[in-house]
Structure 1
């Protein structure tokens, strides 16, 4: 009898111990759950603090002027801004005229000459209209009847013009000229790149190995002002070109027109020579470091200074870095308004077409800034240095 009582007591004690262990484990799980919840909330607040600037005041948009700018955009760009820019661009190209085909309205012998001013205007207008060459022929006749150009070219003349390699440097110069009116406004700039799709596809390999056919892309590297999203400079490369090598050239060309104080870029542009290039010119560069990056200067004091600023005060760093998102807005506006796909077939024409697309976008920004910030376009205020795309910045 006593043995059975002892067994029952031992069994009850064992049950109580198991129950106490389960209660203790349950309490521990609840405590861990609460701790994890607190940690997640804290992390979320830190992430939010990285991408927001508490000191930044909300700027209320002047909707009356914004609406007026949007309503008048087409007429003002076609009648005022584009003719003025093309006139200056033609003067910078020189006095040489371009052999081209016309709608038959000849006088005298031989093929008539097409003025640089007219062909520049028609090429950019064709891209701005986002239509193919044949469909834009009627638009060219309309602007001729409005006496904006001397004579409407044949639609093939525009394609031949865009296929000229020597035109690329002049279009890049015109892009920088189109940003001149906003030079008093912009002091902070963001640099990034984005792809634009062409109509070409990969050829034999997809068919042979039955893989998905992909478009060939061109990449536009741009420097953009963070206040108005104006493009201050751009360079067109292949779709797989590196971003880090274009930083110095874009920033250096921007400094010829604008007084740059800060520049923003993503991790793809982090390099010692880029940070040193900016610091030597008294420009604060906000480029985030990778996890594997260390503070070793290795001949670049700017690298050490930037790494210390990034690690010791990340909240201050991200309060500036969040302005980089404006360059993403710039690309979004270009692709939404003027299209993502390039219509030209040859690579040279595709590059020139993309430059025309960026010029047309800049003119829409200038049109809006004339009302929002009361600026006046003056494309002759700075004597720019025209260089070929092959002349990159020194390492």
Structure 2
């Protein structure tokens, strides 16, 4: 083979190699663009698209104003499970547990009709022991509020026709919530039944109501996410990425004048307890509520919310704050650009580290952002 032939062979090889590399690059770019368009389409069709482990129970568009959320406490309905038989009720540590079962006829029928009495008692003993041992995030038992029914179909009578959200709550506690959650994990329970449960027949499965809040930082044009500590509940020894604040509505969140549950009060309490941010450091008039939803993995009702931080505070300012529950609940705070595509990319890259309620909350918030 002469020198010319060798040169041609080498040149052909180089050109072929370069062409393959160029083709791979073009294919990669096209694939990424197609993936981005697919992501955009998924989020654009927010209501008809599937949401992992989530059933939407109401939606306020563009949002529910705090003034248009009508919360009530159903005084005729209480759902509390007692301690296991044989526990010494004289112990002061036991004062926060109900001495007797207080449950609904529908729950009684469900247990008996599905032969779950023995299963319920077994779970009751296991959960109670975890509270005694302070394991699995069960450090103390406090009163919480369950959901009898939710109605987001009404509108104000003025020309703005703003959406109204009505929620009828009942008294329960965290211990009961953990028992029912374990029970539902063991059986084939159709969680979609809660979506149209206006009569509260399945309210016994809805014994916790949480707020999934996104804090907006205008100074940095960012939103705040958190990485949860392994010390928090439901961690499975993993540091999950959550939204800014996840807070359960409790017995402390009542309007002092009306005596009714106050979701806004729970928002401000949660922000201060978990992030150390006081109400005066927030732009209270920017508080918005979006979708309410039932999360089927942890059997909990939630509502998506957002609020803006004061213009004077940056991410750095709040990252350094101390807070009552920060050490126990939060490992790290994470800034994320308040941008639809940036949020979509973050979800795509971190989906395995995020709970379904976190993903849904970000999707709900993102659906209201401009491109």
Query: TM-score, normalising length from structure 2?
Result: 0.28
Query: TM-score, normalising length from structure 1?
Result: 0.26
The structure whose residues are more often helix, as a share, is 1
Larger radius of gyration between Structure 1 and Structure 2: 1
